A and B are shown apart, each in its own frame.
Chain A
Amino acid sequence: MVSTQEKNNIANPKAVQSSNRPPRVSHSRRFGKPVTTIKTVACLRIPNFPWQVEVARKPELGDQSLIVAGKALDLIEDQEIRETGSGALSARVVIAASPDLTEVSSGMPLAEAIARHRDVQVVEADIPLYGMVFDEIVENLERLVPDIEVAAPGLAYVGIWGLEGLYGDDANVVRLLASTVDSFDLRIGVGENKWLAYAASLLSRANSGRKVTGEPGKFLDKFPVDALPIPYELVKRLHSFGLKTMGHIADIPRGPMEAQFGPNGGTAWELANGIDHRPLMPKRSALGVSEHLDFPDPTVSMATILPAVESLLDRAYGRPQLSNRFARHANLQAQVFQKTPWTMRVGFKNPVGNKNKALFAIKSKLDTAEIPGPLEDMRITLSGITGEAGRQESMWLEVKRDDDLRETISQLRSRLKVAPPVYQVRELEPWSRIPERRFALIQMSGSDG
């Protein structure tokens, strides 16, 4: 629902700029007086997060001009790539760039960025890694605040309303949030909505916060349009029309903006006026069990990959979280030698409560999957864990023997406090000319809890 005040504001954007946009007000009938329900949002932004992760991984990159490039997450563009048959240079975009490349912005086509800086080094984006690193940060934050929305790796919104009684005022909350992230250059912005919080974070200094107070229109007036979360092509078009700051957009009525630039033009107009109706969508924590191993050598051989999958499933189903419970899907992730990481998701037809059935489903999918190159490691995450606790013992001797062995290993682990060194000899590549590639000992229990 759009309030009358907002309708007036849309009809007369100048009014928005010249007067404070009133906070959303809900009238409490019980007490007969209005109660303000401003939901203050903090934006946690790690600028150039992929670049920061790459530098953290390889510190020698810190002194170099670097572009982290990846595939544009645009369906239309993907379709074009499929039609042309190959991933052309123009299909890739800049995900992040080192701070010295001031003319390069994220979303810019890679070809354009390279044309501006010829000697720049290009690194392929490792999106799963960025996600994993940021998940760790978010996990730390979740110990302090419950409502966290992860918008992208390096960008999260935190609902900080109602925390005054617990942590004090906004400044204290910001200080607390900043203290949880000590390894990255973190910027925090606080505002009445997600966009204002994001805009405030653009002006904040390293590991500190900034809050939008007073008139949002005035605050945003001098902001460049490049800061808008809209497609790069639209930013270029706005520039070509001479619309270089938010103030320029806010001076135009919404209608002409939408007529010229489509729905994104309307979005740009709203944001330029400090209006953002997007709700905070907190992350739903899902219970999952994850296991990981490194391959001795990068491999594409199913003879090596399948025993690894089996070993990981064995370990995963041996974990207490999955004890007598079932998983609905499995996610396989792997680093690929000199290529972007590979992921595969396997949904089980029925929830699966043992290794063999899960292996059968994964194997069926692997048979038809195209592995992009030699895999360096593998991680399996079983998720969608159900609440069933029933289990029927098998009358078949072989299954029972496996169960007994697993039970014994479990008891040994609890007694020794470490994973017992129980291994199984498995064929890897028995045809290999290199003897150490033929067989391996695969641990029957995980090395960690």
Chain B
Amino acid sequence: MPRKITKRKRTGKNHNGIKLLNAPRVIEVSLDSLGTPTSIRVPQAQNYKHYSVRSSLLALEQSSSNYLVSDGKWINVSSVLDLWKINDEWWRGKEDEIARLYYRLRLSNGQQTTVYLDLIKNRWFRQAG
């Protein structure tokens, strides 16, 4: 019986030498009745094996008010600064199409951040760049 040949998969993270900058990261967003973001929350980091590493990173994040903190707390949105939509690569089919609704938000701590709703997967991400 022939053995199974595993073909390289594009996971979006490791491309054997190329790492994308400004890759989107998952974020949680609560909405008002009109669908506008009212608060956001960065999911707690799961990747750190050692608590000490994670806690020190958290402390580092908290020391700078300019960063979104992955402490699992909700941060209110003060205002929506901008809103735009991207629809691209629709010719590659429904699964590979890119349809995003971007929001430029000002948060209650004064920070500005960009989030988007993936209209295909119906999931929220934050993105720099």
Give the interface of A toward B (CB within 8 A). Answer: 52-53, 55-57, 59, 133, 182-185, 292-297, 308, 311, 315, 376-377, 423, 425, 433-443, 446-447
Contacts and interface: CB of A to CB of B under 8 A. Distances in A.
Given A433-B88, A435-B128, A441 B5 contact: no
Contacts, number: 86
B121 interface: no
A437 B18 CA distance: 12
B23 interface: yes
Nearest to A184: B2
Contacts of A425: 21
B5 A53 contact: yes
Query: Of residues B4, B12, B16, B19, which shows the largest number of chain A Cβ atoms within 10 Å of its Cβ?
Result: B16
A59 B4 contact: yes
B123 interface: no
Given A294-B10, A434-B88, A443-B19, 15 more contacts: A53-B5, A56-B2, A56-B4, A59-B4, A183-B3, A184-B2, A293-B15, A293-B16, A294-B16, A296-B10, A296-B15, A296-B18, A377-B8, A436-B127, A443-B18
Contacts of A294: 8, 10, 15-16, 18
Contacts of B72: none
Nearest to A432: B88
Contacts of A52: 2
Interface residues of B, number: 24
A433 B7 contact: no
Interface of B is mostly: loop
B22 interface: yes
B86 interface: yes
A296 B8 contact: no
B128 A440 contact: no
B5 A438 contact: no
16 contacts: A59-B4, A292-B16, A293-B15, A294-B18, A295-B15, A295-B18, A296-B12, A296-B20, A311-B17, A434-B86, A436-B23, A436-B24, A437-B20, A438-B21, A443-B18, A447-B16
Complex A-B, nearest 8 residue pairs according to Cβ-Cβ distance, in ascending order? A183-B3, A435-B129, A56-B2, A443-B17, A439-B21, A441-B19, A435-B22, A56-B5
Interface string B89-126: 00000000010000000000000000000000000000
B47 to A, nearest CB: 16
Contacts of B5: 53, 56-57, 133
The binding surface of chain A is classed by DSSP as mixed
Given A59-B4, A294-B10, A296-B15, A433 B21 contact: no
Contacts of B128: 435
A436 B19 CA distance: 10
B18 A441 contact: yes
Contacts of B16: 292-294, 447
Contacts of A184: 2
A425 to B, nearest CB: 7
A446 B5 CA distance: 23
Contact of A185 (B2, B4, B10): B2
Contacts of B18: 293-296, 308, 311, 440-443
A434 B98 contact: yes
- Which of B2, B21, B23, B129 has the most CB atoms of chain A within a 10 A radius of its CB? B2
Contacts of B24: 436
Contacts of A423: 19
A436 B22 contact: yes
